[in-house]
């Protein structure tokens, strides 16, 4: 009966110690993460009633993933226990001019081998007000685009708000595959989240005056992108994350929210990064929280950007912060002074 349902894959994350390369030493830190699971945990930390839907094997690793979600208060009752393996990803943190790297080992995972008949969306959406997924989920198998399409169509019929972070992953599918699948799905999305690469690779919409590799971003170009997504696909709100990468350790970060009437930009944060994985998911969770609680568009994007900024300072996928901490940054100086 959870009011929010997120759908995707939770994976075992294996990472060498900070600054070390893959297998530079004999220790790998084992945690769990995945885009929609990260959103669910953030929302649970914001004291929201949230469930996570996925498929996991009936073994100790699958149970450990479930236990991690339960620890944060996420409802795991909808999780399918089937299939043979939990997906894995290896994460190597970048330093200075050396970028971070991710290697996936998720082929034939439990969710990737699930079928349409495994998902009773009427039952899954019982009591639900908001459904969230990302463009990663339909990329996991040939079946999952159809599963996601059925989910959003059911949500639309039941009056459930749907949010989707486009989240293009070139290691999972081609731009052509992403474009074909997501152009069917996005018309049923109410709140679309993207960045400069996602809008281009997934929907073929590019921000004018922007060069991602050089870090050149155009606010006016992103306004145009948001307006194009809104008018083409009927999304009532479009959020864009704007990241300027100075190095692997230092980024400038802000967000934009277009609500069909006005373009609201958050303040920009200069971030010294501890772990950037999950930063976009924290932004998405902040948007959902702000919209559910009736924040103005400006306050919603400020809350989302502040939540994401804090996530960049936390090890692992999961954003371990409270509403009070996000609001403190949102309304404060962000100098990081000790609080006594």
pLDDT at position 20 is 82
pLDDT by residue (tens digit) across 145-155? Answer: 999 999 999 99
Q: Residue 248 carries which DSSP code?
A: S
Cα distance between residue 291 and residue 282, in whole Å:
14
pLDDT the model gives residue 171: 86
Instruction: Indicate the pairing of strand 263-265 with strand 250-258.
Output: antiparallel
Nearest to 7 by CA among 37, 33, 32: 37
Q: Which residues contact 277 (CB under 8 A, 6 or more apart)?
A: 33, 91, 100, 102, 316, 317
Side-chain half-sphere of 259: how many Cα atoms within 13 Å? 15
The 3-state DSSP class for residue 301 equals helix
CA-based nearest residue to 36, from 5, 81, 12? 5
Residue that has been written with the tokens 């109410």 in this structure: 190
Residue 324 is predicted with a pLDDT of 96
- CA-to-CA distance for 236 and 26, rounded, in angstroms? 49
Q: Which pair of structure tokens corresponds to residue 146? A: 């159809």
Collapsing DSSP to helix, strand or coil, 29 comes out as strand
- The burial of 48, by beta-carbon neighbours within 10 Å (0-12 exposed, 13-18 middle, 19 or more buried), is given as buried
Under a CB-based contact definition with an 8 Å cutoff, are residues 240 and 305 in contact? no
Per this entry, what is the length of the chain?
340
Where b means 16+ CB within 10 Å and e means fewer, 63-96 reads eebbebbeebebbbebbeebbebbbbbbbbbbbe
For 51, the token pair is 């469930």
What are the backbone angles phi and psi of residue 254, rounded to the nearest 5°?
-155, 175
pLDDT in tens, 273-310: 888 888 899 999 999 999 999 999 999 999 999 999 99
Interior angle at CA 109, CA 64 and CA 144, nearest 5: 120
Q: Which domains does the chain have, with CATH numbers?
A: 4-331 (3.40.1190.20)
What's residue 48's pLDDT?
A: 98
Q: What are phi and psi of 74, to 5 degrees?
A: -80, 135
| Beta-sheet pairing, 4-7 with 130-134 | parallel
Angle between helices 297-311 and 279-292 (to 10 degrees): 150
For the four alpha carbons of 47, 48, 49 and 50, in that order, the dihedral sign comes to: negative
Looking at 38-100, which runs of residues are DSSP E strands?
Answer: 50-53, 55-56, 80-81, 88-92
176 contacts: CB under 8 Å, gap ≥ 6? none
- Using CA atoms of 223, 229, 235, 241 in order, give the dihedral in degrees to the nearest 10: -50
Q: Give, for 161, the enclosing helix (H) or strand (E).
A: strand 161-165
Half-sphere exposure of 91 (CA within 13 A, CB side): 22
Residue 65 near residue 80 (C-beta atoms within 8 A): no
Helix (H, G, I), strand (E, B) or coil at 1: coil
Q: Which regions in the chain score pLDDT beneath 70?
A: 1, 208-217, 333-340
pLDDT of residue 214: 59
pLDDT at 151: 98
């Amino acid at each position: 009966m959870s009011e929010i349902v997120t759908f995707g894959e939770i994976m075992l994350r294996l990472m060498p110690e900070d600054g070390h390369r893959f297998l530079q030493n004999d220790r790998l830190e084992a945690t769990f993460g995945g885009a929609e699971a990260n959103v669910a945990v953030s929302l649970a930390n914001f004291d929201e009633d949230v469930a996570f839907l996925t498929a996991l094997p009936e073994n100790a690793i699958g149970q450990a993933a479930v236990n991690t979600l339960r620890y944060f208060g996420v409802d795991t009752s909808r999780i399918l226990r089937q299939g043979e393996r939990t997906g894995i990803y290896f994460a190597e943190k970048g330093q200075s001019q050396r970028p971070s790297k991710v290697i996936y080992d998720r082929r034939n995972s439990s969710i990737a081998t699930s079928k349409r008949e495994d998902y009773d969306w009427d039952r899954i959406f019982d009591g639900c007000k908001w459904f969230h997924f990302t463009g990663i989920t339909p990329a996991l198998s040939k079946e999952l685009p159809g599963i996601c399409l059925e989910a959003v169509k059911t949500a639309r019929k039941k009056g459930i708000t749907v949010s989707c972070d486009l989240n293009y992953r070139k290691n999972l599918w081609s731009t052509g595959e992403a474009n074909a699948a997501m152009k069917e799905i996005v018309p049923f999305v109410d709140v679309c989240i993207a960045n400069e690469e996602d809008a281009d690779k997934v929907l073929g919409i590019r921000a004018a005056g922007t060069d991602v590799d050089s870090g050149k971003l155009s606010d006016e170009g992103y306004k145009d992108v948001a307006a194009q997504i809104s008018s083409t696909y009927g999304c009532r709100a479009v959020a864009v994350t704007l990241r300027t990468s100075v190095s692997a350790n230092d980024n400038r970060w802000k967000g934009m929210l277009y609500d069909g009437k006005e373009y609201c930009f958050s303040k920009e944060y200069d971030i010294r990064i501890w772990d950037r994985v999950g930063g976009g998911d924290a932004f998405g969770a902040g948007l959902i929280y702000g919209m559910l609680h009736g924040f103005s568009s400006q306050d919603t994007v400020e809350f989302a950007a502040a939540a994401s900024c804090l996530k960049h300072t936390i090890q692992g996928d999961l954003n371990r912060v409270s509403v009070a901490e996000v609001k403190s940054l949102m309304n404060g100086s962000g100098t990081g002074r000790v609080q006594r």
